[in-house]
Structures are given as C-alpha cells and as structure tokens.
Structure 1
Amino acid sequence: MLPSFSYLSGHPGFCGTIKNSPSDFVVTELEVAEQALGAAGGESLQETSEAPAEQSSPSLQQPKKRRKEPPCAEGCHRAGPRPSGGDPGWAGGDRSTPPNKNQREADPGLRSGLQEAGVLDSLLGKPTSELLSKFACDLKDAWDLEKNADGSTREFSLGPVLDKKIRADLHSAVRQKFPFLVTVTKDNEMIVKGNADYRELCQLVTEKETSDFFKFLDAKLENSTFSFEPDGNKEHRKVVHHFINKKFGKLVETKSFAVTDVNEQPNMSIMVRFREKSWSRKRSAGGLQEKQDLYTAFTLQKENLETLEAIGFLAAELGVLPSDFSYTGIKDKKAITYQPMVVKKVTPERLKEIESKVEKKGMRIHNIHSACQHLKLGQLKGNHFDIVVRDLKHHSHDSSADLKERISEAMENVETKGFVNYYGPQRFGQGQKVQTDQIGLALLNEKMVKAVKLFFTPEDIDDPVNNAKRYFLQTEDAKGALMMLPEYKVREKMLLRALNRYGVNHEGCTQGWLNIPHSMRIFYIHAYCSKIWNEAASYRLKIYGSKVAEGDLVFSEGNDENVSLSDRVHVVTAPEESANKYSINQVVLPMVGHSIKYPSNKVGEWYHERLSKDDLQMCKFRVSPLQLNIPGCYRPILKNVQNLSYFLEGGEKGIEVEDNHLNESKVSLHISFDLDPSCYATVCLREIMKCDF
C-alpha cells in the first residue's frame, strides 16, 4: 500500500490477510449527538474522509466569509410551475413532452417599468434618476451605433450609499427597469455599467427575449421558468444552450421541449429553470427565511459497494439526484459498512417501498425516519471497526519468537504510541489503472480533456461499465457510450451527456465536469492533495523523526471563533524546540491550498519543490472554470486508537490456542477499535502488522 512510508513503532509485527470477505471488515459510523448536529461545521482538528462541498479539505478549515449583500442576478422573468427537481431529462438534449401552457405566461405580480421608475425616484431623487435614465439611453444608442464597442467600459456613479438595505433595493430596482445594466458596489459607492452578457445574448435571440430573460434571472422567483421563442434550428438552439450554461450554469439549467408555434406547427423551445440549490432561501413577507424542505434520515448498510455508487443506485430508484443525498463521510468498498444518510424530497414511505429492490444490490436500509435537515461532511464522532485478520504467520525474516507475543507487543505499541495518520489506499482508488489523484492533478492543471480520458480509462474487465468506457475512448461517441452504461453509473452518465452536447474538446470537457455535483468534482482534487500530504508526512518523519523541530507547525486548541485558523497554527521557534515545549502529537502538516501556511523548515521547502514537480508551483488552488476553491487545511501527523480490544480464535472447531503453541494456519485475529473521522483502519493495521495491503 505505502511501501516507502514510515512506521512509528519498532516492533516486528506479523503477516495476515484482511478483507477475505466483506464480513471480515465491518465499519459502523459513530454519530454526533442529536443536539449537536445544528452546531456542526465549526473549526475542528477532526477530519472527514471527504471534504465539505464548499471547502477545500476537511480539517482545520478557514471559516467562510458571509455574503454581505444579497446576490445580484440580472433581469426579469416569466413565471409558472417548473418541472420536478429530480427530472433527469434536464441534464441535456431535447425532450418531447411539452411544457404546461402557463409556463409561458407572465407573472401578474411583476412590477411594471413605471413602478420601478417610481422606486428609483424615491431612492435616488428625481434628478439622479433622470441622469441614470439618460445614461441608459446613451449606452443603448452607443451599442446600436458602434457594433464592436465595449459598452461595459462606460460607467455611471449613483454616489455613496451607506445603508445596505437601500443598496439592495437599488440593485434590484435599477436592473428591473434596465435589465441591460449591471450594478456593483465599490467602497459603498454604487456604480452602474453596461452588461456585456446581455449584449452577447442579444446577438443570439431578440432583444425582447434577452430583456425578459434577464428580468427572470433577477426576480429569481421560486418555481418559475422562462421559455425562449420556438426555434426549429437545432444548431442555433445548441449555441443558446451553450451560452446560458456557460454564463449562468451555476444558477439555472436548460432543456429543449416540444411546443406548438403561432402557426400551430410543432416546434422546439428552450426552457430555463433555476437549479434546486438556488432555493436554499426564499423571499417572504417577513424578508428572507429558510425554506422548509422534506428530509428523510436512514442508516445505509452496504456491502462491497462504494458510497457514491450506492447513492447512484438509490437515486435512480427514487427518481432524485445524487446531490439530494447527504452523508458525513466516504466508507470502504470492500467491507460491510453502516452509515447515517439523509435524502431530500423523499418521504419515509417512499424510501420503504424500495427496500426489497436495493437488497439485490448489496444494500439494506434501516431506521427510516423524518429529519429536519441534511447532514454535513465531517459531522460524525468517528468510526468503529470490527476486523478479522486471517492466515496469521510470522514475517519471513522473523520466525524465532512466539507469534502470540508478537501480536501482544504490536497491540500494546499502537495503543500507547498511535500511528502515522496517512490517507489510506481507498482514497486513491486502490487497484485501479488510473487513481483518483491523477485525475485531480489534471484538473488542477486545467487539462480538462486529459482528466476526462483518465476518468474513462477502463480496467481489464469485460463488463458493461468497462466496455462502455473502452468504446468511448476508442470512438469519442459520447451518445453511444451513454446508452451502454448501467443507470446507476451516475457520474459517468452526467459527464457523457454534457460531452454529447458540447463535444470532446477543452470547452466540452469543462462543461462535462461542471455537469457533475460539486462534491464529486472536488473529490478528485482532494485525492491529489491527500497524496501530497502522505508524501510530506513521510519526508517529515525521515528528516526530523519524532522530535518537534524548529519551523514545525503546531495547532493551538481553543473555541474562540474570532481567532482565524491561520492564527491558531503556530510555527515552533528555536527556544521552544530546545525547551521541548510541544510533543509530536501536536504537530500538523498542511493539506495544500491557497490559504495555508507551510512549515518554515526543510519540510516547507519540500512542499514547494514537490508542487513544482507537478507544474503547480504557480497554482493558486482555484479552478475557476470548474467553480472549485481549495483553501487548504491542516492534518495531525499522528493519531491514536481508542477502545482497542482483540482476541484469537481457532479457525476450525476444536482447535485451541495454547500459550506457546500457536497453529499459524488455523487461527484468526479479531480486532475492535474506534478511530477519529478521516482516520483509516487499513493504515492503523499497517502499523500493527508492519504489512502493506
């Protein structure tokens, strides 16, 4: 597993096999107390095996900055009931089912331009309001006269506006009356200028459609949709789809529907709706309030399945999106695992209906009940492991001592000293031709096509999944590969739908990665960051051993939320090293990102050299085309095991374990212990046994 990596203790260890069957490796998630769930997500030294969706990595994370003003989208709308949020047809392509007629009717609650003018007069005063109107007219005239002019360079100042509520009202009022303008705030001064995106869309559709579309975006009314005029040109529709997804894909999604045009002839129309995640908040008479969603909690038992693969099965059966599921961490594939999950938009009764179907896929659903919120990655106390090690024997170089003594010595050492806190092999796709960290590196380098090709690299297995991957790499026929894939292969299908629409080029592959949920996209980059951390830990222990050295980073405990994460990570000074002020258990190493500090000793130099080797010396750890932000975090170099117990058992009935005569081939070792979040049992076993798996 980690052949060049360090061991912490010097005991010889022993050999054995793990995961002979899933029942030999049972993982049960230790839940956080119910009353603590609402407070989850604060700074902590604990980690998860996958980082939170909007953060770089799981431990010691930088606190997020709250948005100080409401988000400013552009435009107005036509409103009506939107299709179900779980409709997979919205992922791409045309659809024959026509939208409801009401979806193209204007919302009677929209304020007229006259009302907006009155709002602007009251907020700005009539003289400034008139100057704004003149600026808007002059800008439109300039756009019409100078076809190649960049209208966004013209600006108009509304002056300083100190009150945030008034600023928010002005943002909305200006853009409802003039959807071709955008408003920005610079040091409390409000600036108005032309909207380049508006002008670009005007080149594709009529100005009335453009104006109505931007008003639809700005109003952002829940359950509203917007339809462009019927368009029989498939290539033109494709260009419009592409533009909207490129510019506003984080906020909305598009789909072509069959409609009847003004001549009563069948035609196609592009419909736009807000993505589900846009409705985390909604407007009400009392201002902004949380939307009440339907949540159902349950415990998922799975066997020989990846967590994301299991979610793919469940999502397909329930008719919802994989992103509607929340969980606190990724669990082993080659194991029987138990973990809490919450699914959105599904009732307990609906979940119970699919119990018999999912059992055929190696899953069982327990403890189904209603919940009031989703789960967060890292929102767990840890994991409990029950492991059986079979085929016990001495290492080839160590056959003199009694095997039972070797086991006892190993258990005592790991219980008192702990183990090096490496990320385990399952983090990287153990045994696969292409490991997840390789895909992550390609994404960090913005080599989108290479990342897609790596993602679709097949294993040497003749099954539907690998045959589909093989076919795609040979032909680049995304549509054909899509038809070959099983329904539960959600990530693959999401990517292929986008590639079918946009092509297997840089732009198309970028859209492909954007088409899968954020948590799945960033998973690959976290895998790369984890690989670098593993290598850094080995280098640190090789250079300085278990002694705390000048320049090391240590973490200061504390619950003061006003103290930033960087301020809580302290660089060890020379006097502190001499005084042995800190222990090796307090030393942390950074997971690479844009907001972390590096050790100021040889380990820090190593990080910079290692990143340079992968052409990341200038990397800002923000992949803007994929909306990925990797601030970084810190991970303890050592970890301890809790509640460790073990016993030896004869492999066949009637065989006993004598003190001085242990029959190697007939005895198994049963180990039970607890680990903190993001600690790997295989890594702990590696320290105990001195074996690589």
Structure 2
Amino acid sequence: ALCTRSDHTGFQGRIKTSASDFIVTEIDTLGRLLSENVDKTLPGLGGMPAVPSSSSPQNTHRYWPKPLELHSEECYQRLGPFDNPSLAPEESLLPAKDSTEPVAGASSKGGHHEGATLDSLLDESVNELLNQFACNIKGGWDSEHDPAAHPAEFSLGPVLDKRNRADLHSAIRQKFPFLMTVTKNNEIIVKANSDYKQLCQLVSEKEAFDFFKFLDAKLENSKFSFKPDGNKEHRKAVHHFISQKFGKLLETKSFSVTDFCDQHNVAIIVRFREKSWSRKRPATDCQEKQDVYTGFILRKENLETLEAISSLSTELGVLPSDFSYTGIKDKKAITYQAMVVKKVTPERLKEIGSTIVKKGMNVYNIHSVCQHLRLGQLKGNHFDIIVRDLKLQSNDSSADLKERIFEAIENVKTEGFVNYYGPQRFGQGQTVQTDQIGLALLNEEMVKAVKLFFTPEDADDPVNQAKRYFLQTEDAKGTLGMLPEFKVREKMLLRALNRYGINQEGCTRGWLSIPHSMRVFYVHAYCSKIWNEAASFRFITYGSKVVEGDLVLAGENVDENSSVNDRVHLVTALEESANKYALSQVVLPMVGHSIKYPNNEVGQWYQERLAKDGLQTCRFRVPVLQLNTPGCYRNILKYIHNLSYHFLEDGVKGIKTEEDSHLNESKASLLLSFDLDPSCYATVCLREIMKCDL
C-alpha cells in the first residue's frame, strides 16, 4: 500500500465526474498557459473556443503569443555571459540533435578567420573564458600540474540556431584542435580532445595541430602528410593510431619521398576514404532537404494522448512517430498540450480541423516551427479540478466539513506530497494493468504480453467482445473485423499477428508493428510501479529523515528524462548527523541499466524486488523490440504551486459559499486550481489531500 506524507484526517469526494471537471493545461517553459488567448480565427477549429482558466486569477498574466517559440527556458535562465538573443532568430532554427554534431562549412582559410567567427558569434566575456579554458587545458598537458585543478568542461550555453552551432563547432576546433566540441540539447560543451594528446606522443605537436585541422575541415580530395620518418616501427604505430581512431573516415599509406638534399625517406599520407567527405553536406544543401515541422496546441477530451496521436497520424497520412510532445496527459479530462508534427504543413493540418472535432480533438495556434519537442520540455501543468459529493471520512466525528478541507489543503501546501506515479499510469480499473505487460516484455515473453494486452474487461461492449473472441480462437483476422476503427493499437498488432502467427516470433513482430513510444510505455509503466513501491518502503523505513546511503540530487530538481549520474550523491554518515540535506533533495532511481542504487536498506529492497519478478540479471534492454531503458531519478517529495480554491453550491461554477457558512454535504463541491512540476500527478496530490483513493 502507498503511504502518505502527512497525518491529517482528510475528506471524501469524487473527481472526474465529467471531463470538464478535470482540465489540464500545459505550462510552457516560459510559464505560459497553453489554453489562454489561443487564436480562435484559424480555419478548421470547429468553432470551439479555448477554455480559459478563469478560476485561477493568479495566472491571468500568462499568455500564448503566436507563433510559439519552441525553445527551452534554459535559453533565458542559463545563458550567463552568452546572453545575446539576436544569435537565435526563430526563422533560422533547425532540428536539434542530441549527439555530437558534424561541422558544416568548415573553412580552409588560415589566419584570423576562426577568431573572427568566434568574435562575431560569442559575447566578449565568453570568448575570453573560452580562451582561458583552452590555455588551462594546454597548460595542464605541458606541465606537471594536476589537471584536475581546472574544470574538465566548458559550456558556451544553449545556441539555438543550428548554423550558428555548426560555425562555432568549426571555429573552435580549427582554432583549438586540441579541444573537442559536442552538442547536448542545443548546448555546446567544450572539452579536451584526448586523441590529440595521444597523437602528440607519436608526432610533433605542430603535426598533431595541423592533422586535426585537416580532419575537421574535411575538404574534398584533400590530403595530409606527416613528416618523413625512417623508423618503420614508429610509422606502424602512427598507421595503427589513425586506423583505430578514424578508420571509417580516413585511410593511410606510406610513400617514398625525396627531401631537398636528395635523401630518400618514407612519409605517411592521409586522405579521406572515397565519398566520406560528402557525408558533411553544405549548410545550404541541408537546409533545402530539411523536414517540415508544424507546431500546434492540441485540445483533447476523453482521449489518451497516444490514442489521439494515432488518430491524427491516420488523418494526416504520417507515422505516429512523426509527432513529438512534452508528456502524456490524462484520458478522462479536457487537456491542452503543445505538439509538433513532422512532414505536415500548417495548411494541411488546418484542413483536418473539422474532421477531428468529431473525435474529441481541436487544434489551435497552428504555425511553422523548426524542430521537434522533447519529453519534459515544459515547466509543468496547470489543473482546474472540481471535487464533487464532499463528505467527512466515515470514521470522522467532526461536524465541520469545511474545517477538515481547509486543514487538509493547507497541510499539503506546506508539507508537500509523496511523488508517486498516478493510477492512470497503470490503466486504472483495468483487469490487466500496463505494468504487467511491461514485465512480460522485459522477460521477453512476447506471447504472454500479447494475451495480457487482449485481456478483456467485464463489460460487454464491441471492444471487449472482440478481445474475448481473440483469446478464445486466436483468430487475428476475424478479430480485426470486430474492432472499432479507433482501436488503432489493437488493429496494428492484429494485422501483424495475422501475417506472422501467434508464436514467439510472430508476437515479437506484432509488438514491433506498433510505434516505439507505445512499446516503451509499457516498460516504463513497470519501472514506475517499482518506483512507487520503493518510495513507500523508503518512507516506512526511514520516515522524513535523510539517512546514510540515501541518494540526493544537489541543486535544482530534475525531470524524469534527465541523465544526472554525475550529480547524484550518496549521503555519508557525517552528512546524516549534520542534517546536510533536505528530504526534498532525496531521489530514488527508476530502474534501468545506467543508474545508481541507494546504499542502505532501500538499495537491498530494489535487488530483492527485481529478483521476485525474475529480473535480477535484467539489463533493461530488449534488443528484439528496440527497447533500451537507461533509468533516471525522481524526487520522492514534491510541492504544489499557485494554489487557489473555493467552494461551489450545487456544483455550479462561480457560486462561492460564504467563508463563515456551513457546507451542505449533499450540494457542496470544491474547485481547486494549482500548478505541478512536470511528471507530477494531480490525482496523487489529491489523494494526499483527501486521504482516500480516487
């Protein structure tokens, strides 16, 4: 059973009586509510206006100008000395990559070209810091000083324009070939090039310097020659180094050469492998072939996010994987969220507006953007929730319901709530929950996972009739004809099963037929269930005290998708006795192949719990399904923000009860408006407030 953070009495009530009782509005990275001031004049919107959050006056400063600037809040909060918004015009944004970027347009010019590029793109103070960082790296190599005395990395901050990033990569590597640059979420990171240092042990520093300039420029038909070398073993070592480090890109040969004194010797010539230079296309060519990206706000009602995407992809003739979004929203609710679709123009998206209205969707603020969205790329979510049928707890003898409600809300506002994953993560009320399917997939029990997927509920509607028929007959083709069109996932899986059969291989192909985001959803559901159980065990075992062996995250909070191993710290006995850390800094791992576990009873619990499910040796990779789960960390405690609440008589919005009046239990409802951080569940927060399962 899931425990709670505080010990107030709570109260009873019902949520999600209708979709309009539970409105979820995404908050973008600049703190703006997506549902406010949307453009209601765009064609294809079905005449349905946005629902403003009139019940939360503290948020009326939020707005949604168009076009939407789809970039991270980090661009404003973390630029530091690189604070030059003119370097990131929206029209020139290109799709970002999370890996090392190839350098485009590297110049073969020498002299001050690279310095001029850096001067034009970097703020003067950043340029100075970069030069100082380069000197420290070089100085550390050339001296006996401890290299750890200086930072190992230097960040230029986020650079949104891809062409500017490419120019910066090129200029830095050309000016400082002993440095390497990588891009992480639009942020350029500079660090020492260990390959350069290693080459300096084989050849002169000037040769290493010139070789890496040649390598980075990557000019068609260009060659590089090392100095003549009469030592065969030494030449062999140089050949081996280049083959090992750059063999896919470069080839080397030894040629006989004659110097100016007519002395014969041997030199190593390096050239790019045939056509390898062409992998780096000119920036203009890249621009011509860029995919089209269209951003929009999706309003959906009584629909899962993935179900909505499947329906939209069918209407637009693209794949579900062409959609990107910042997070999955509730099903039984009205929700507003940002989305980006690839390969679809704004005009094409507007054309389907009237069609999708019939399916419970609307699209607003349709406009061109230049990159996809990332999970977690939001500041949080705003909730407007009506709790109906308010009552005292059955064992509560208090006569004042209003007092109980005030006490509960203010308590959670102060103390926070345990940051559990909500019941909708697991398929609330379903016979088979999503985590069970995820466990079967992790154990590579493909047939079992399929049969769990098609396990029916007690209802006798067409969907459940079709599922029962399938389990009884294994007739995939017949089941296809019984299912309604909106059951997109089920139909995709059945088509593959009909083609390949209902065996291990056929079911594997079946799972591969549905989008990756849907496959990984089930595995994440299992990992979420383990996290919930771990959080309960942690609170039951250690309470609110931060103890030795806990994992803490120093500094700012982290979202579900961050990789933060370098910032996660094991609490020592000394730190425990000094009360160095707060409970809000404690994190627990979502199981995966790249995480640390607590070094106390909680860590032992994880091992025993995974062994119970047969996952003691699990690497959290399922190659046959292209699933890879590295894991992450999640704060065990979260707080509610921008909270406001008032009572409604007869559940009618806008009619407040007098502050000193007594609530009529049969008629009173409660309207709550608040913000939560990304990946926090309003149902979990309400459970903490009300002290009852919802």
TM-score range, shorter chain: 0.5 to 0.7
Alpha-carbon shift at residue 558 of structure 1 (Å): 6.9
Name which of 429, 432, 444 aligns with 1:431.
429
Tell me, yes or no, if the aligned pair for 1:297 and 1:370 is still in contact at 8 Å.
yes
Name which of 356, 367, 370 aligns with 2:368.
370
Tell me, yes or no, if the aligned pair for 1:327 and 1:376 is still in contact at 8 Å.
yes
Residues 465 and 319 from structure 1, CA distance in 2 versus in 1: closer, same or farther, beyond 3 angstroms?
farther
Deviates more, 1:658-667 or 1:642-651: 658-667
Residues 604 and 406 from structure 1, CA distance in 2 versus in 1: closer, same or farther, beyond 3 angstroms?
same
Name the residue aligned to 2:27.
30
Tell me, yes or no, if the aligned pair for 1:548 and 1:582 is still in contact at 8 Å.
yes
Residues 617 and 333 from structure 1, CA distance in 2 versus in 1: closer, same or farther, beyond 3 angstroms?
same
Counterpart amino acid of residue 284 in structure 1: R
Q: Secondary structure at the match of 1:530?
A: helix
Alpha-carbon shift at residue 168 of structure 1 (Å): 2.3
Q: Which runs of 5+ in 1 are unaligned?
A: 45-62, 70-118, 125-157, 172-217, 222-281
Alpha-carbon shift at residue 66 of structure 1 (Å): 4.8
Residues 170 and 514 from structure 1, CA distance in 2 versus in 1: closer, same or farther, beyond 3 angstroms?
farther
Q: Distance in 1 between matches of 2:3 and 2:624?
A: 38
Name the residue aligned to 2:377.
379
> Is 2:8 aligned against 1:11?
yes
Alpha-carbon shift at residue 652 of structure 1 (Å): 7.0
Q: Secondary structure at the match of 1:161?
A: helix
Name the residue aligned to 2:650.
651
Residues 495 and 296 from structure 1, CA distance in 2 versus in 1: closer, same or farther, beyond 3 angstroms?
same
Q: Secondary structure at the match of 1:376?
A: coil
Name the residue aligned to 1:229.
none
Alpha-carbon shift at residue 431 of structure 1 (Å): 1.0
Q: Distance in 2 between matches of 1:606 and 1:288?
A: 55
Residues 656 and 567 from structure 1, CA distance in 2 versus in 1: closer, same or farther, beyond 3 angstroms?
closer
Give CA-to-partner distance per residue, 1:85-111, whole Å, 9 cap, x none: xxxxxxxxxxxxxxxxxxxxxxxxxxx
Name the residue aligned to 2:666.
665
Q: Secondary structure at the match of 2:666?
A: helix
- Counterparts of 1:561-572 in structure 2 under 5 Å? 565-572=564-571
- Counterparts of 1:476-625 in structure 2 under 5 Å? 476-557=474-555, 565-625=564-624
Give CA-to-partner distance per residue, 1:77-132, whole Å, 9 cap, x none: xxxxxxxxxxxxxxxxxxxxxxxxxxxxxxxxxxxxxxxxxx99x999xxxxxxxx
Name the residue aligned to 1:232.
none
What TM-score, normalized by structure 1, do the two folds share?
0.65
Residues 632 and 288 from structure 1, CA distance in 2 versus in 1: closer, same or farther, beyond 3 angstroms?
farther
Q: Distance in 1 between matches of 2:312 and 2:600?
A: 48
Name the residue aligned to 2:202.
none
Give CA-to-partner distance per residue, 1:162-190, whole Å, 9 cap, x none: 5966632669xxxxxxxxxxxxxxxxxxx
Residues 68 and 284 from structure 1, CA distance in 2 versus in 1: closer, same or farther, beyond 3 angstroms?
closer
Tell me, yes or no, if the aligned pair for 1:303 and 1:363 is still in contact at 8 Å.
yes
May I ask how many residue pairs the two structures share in their alignment? Answer: 489
Alpha-carbon shift at residue 559 of structure 1 (Å): 11
Counterpart amino acid of residue 13 in structure 2: G
Name the residue aligned to 1:84.
none
Tell me, yes or no, if the aligned pair for 1:593 and 1:632 is still in contact at 8 Å.
yes
Alpha-carbon shift at residue 422 of structure 1 (Å): 0.3
Q: Distance in 1 between matches of 2:434 and 2:426?
A: 5
Give CA-to-partner distance per residue, 1:267-318, whole Å, 9 cap, x none: xxxxxxxxxxxxxxx7635699474111221111111111111112212222
Counterpart amino acid of residue 648 in structure 2: E
Deviates more, 1:378-387 or 1:491-500: 491-500
Alpha-carbon shift at residue 533 of structure 1 (Å): 0.3
Alpha-carbon shift at residue 335 of structure 1 (Å): 0.7
Q: Secondary structure at the match of 1:352?
A: helix
Alpha-carbon shift at residue 642 of structure 1 (Å): 0.2
Q: Distance in 1 between matches of 2:100 and 2:473?
A: 46
Tell me, yes or no, if the aligned pair for 1:404 and 1:662 is still in contact at 8 Å.
yes
Tell me, yes or no, if the aligned pair for 1:283 and 1:289 is still in contact at 8 Å.
no
Q: Distance in 2 between matches of 1:373 and 1:307?
A: 20
Name the residue aligned to 1:167.
248
Q: Secondary structure at the match of 2:249?
A: helix
Q: Distance in 2 between matches of 1:521 and 1:163?
A: 37
Q: Distance in 2 between matches of 1:68 and 1:612?
A: 43
Q: Secondary structure at the match of 2:495?
A: helix
RMSD, aligned CA: 3.7
Name which of 458, 461, 475 aligns with 2:459.
461
Q: Distance in 1 between matches of 2:651 and 2:321?
A: 47
Name which of 450, 453, 470 aligns with 2:468.
470
Residues 35 and 321 from structure 1, CA distance in 2 versus in 1: closer, same or farther, beyond 3 angstroms?
closer
Q: Distance in 1 between matches of 2:556 and 2:682?
A: 28
Residues 567 and 347 from structure 1, CA distance in 2 versus in 1: closer, same or farther, beyond 3 angstroms?
closer
Q: Secondary structure at the match of 1:302?
A: strand
Q: Distance in 2 between matches of 1:655 and 1:556?
A: 43
Name the residue aligned to 1:20.
17
Q: Secondary structure at the match of 2:327?
A: coil
Tell me, yes or no, if the aligned pair for 2:70 and 2:369 is still in contact at 8 Å.
no
Residues 579 and 499 from structure 1, CA distance in 2 versus in 1: closer, same or farther, beyond 3 angstroms?
same
Q: Distance in 2 between matches of 1:482 and 1:315?
A: 19
Residues 652 and 319 from structure 1, CA distance in 2 versus in 1: closer, same or farther, beyond 3 angstroms?
closer
Counterpart amino acid of residue 19 in structure 2: P
Counterpart amino acid of residue 5 in structure 2: L
Residues 461 and 394 from structure 1, CA distance in 2 versus in 1: closer, same or farther, beyond 3 angstroms?
same
Name the residue aligned to 1:637.
636
Q: Distance in 1 between matches of 2:660 and 2:345?
A: 56
Q: Distance in 2 between matches of 1:66 and 1:615?
A: 37
Tell me, yes or no, if the aligned pair for 1:650 and 1:657 is still in contact at 8 Å.
no
Q: Which runs of 5+ in 2 are unaligned?
A: 31-67, 79-96, 104-219, 226-238, 253-274
Q: Distance in 2 between matches of 1:505 and 1:554?
A: 45
> Is 2:687 aligned against 1:686?
yes
Name the residue aligned to 1:303.
301
Q: Secondary structure at the match of 1:37?
A: coil
Structure ranking higher on relative contact order (CA contacts 8 Å, 6+ apart): 1
> Is 2:663 aligned against 1:677?
no
Alpha-carbon shift at residue 462 of structure 1 (Å): 3.1
Q: Distance in 2 between matches of 1:374 and 1:628?
A: 21
Counterpart amino acid of residue 670 in structure 1: L
Residues 285 and 672 from structure 1, CA distance in 2 versus in 1: closer, same or farther, beyond 3 angstroms?
closer
Q: Distance in 2 between matches of 1:405 and 1:31?
A: 35
Give CA-to-partner distance per residue, 1:187-242, whole Å, 9 cap, x none: xxxxxxxxxxxxxxxxxxxxxxxxxxxxxxx99x9xxxxxxxxxxxxxxxxxxxxx
- Counterparts of 1:373-412 in structure 2 under 5 Å? 373-412=371-410
Counterpart amino acid of residue 466 in structure 2: A
Q: Distance in 1 between matches of 2:657 and 2:282?
A: 75
Q: Distance in 2 between matches of 1:65 and 1:582?
A: 34
What TM-score, normalized by structure 2, do the two folds share?
0.65
Counterpart amino acid of residue 686 in structure 2: L
Residues 368 and 427 from structure 1, CA distance in 2 versus in 1: closer, same or farther, beyond 3 angstroms?
same
- Counterparts of 1:447-458 in structure 2 under 5 Å? 447-458=445-456
Counterpart amino acid of residue 26 in structure 2: E
Give CA-to-partner distance per residue, 1:549-573, whole Å, 9 cap, x none: 111110022799xx98323111111
Q: Secondary structure at the match of 1:340?
A: strand
Tell me, yes or no, if the aligned pair for 2:552 and 2:570 is still in contact at 8 Å.
yes
Counterpart amino acid of residue 71 in structure 2: L
Q: Distance in 2 between matches of 1:305 and 1:430?
A: 14
Tell me, yes or no, if the aligned pair for 1:316 and 1:487 is still in contact at 8 Å.
no
- Counterparts of 1:329-348 in structure 2 under 5 Å? 329-348=327-346
Alpha-carbon shift at residue 472 of structure 1 (Å): 2.2
Q: Distance in 1 between matches of 2:27 and 2:308?
A: 20
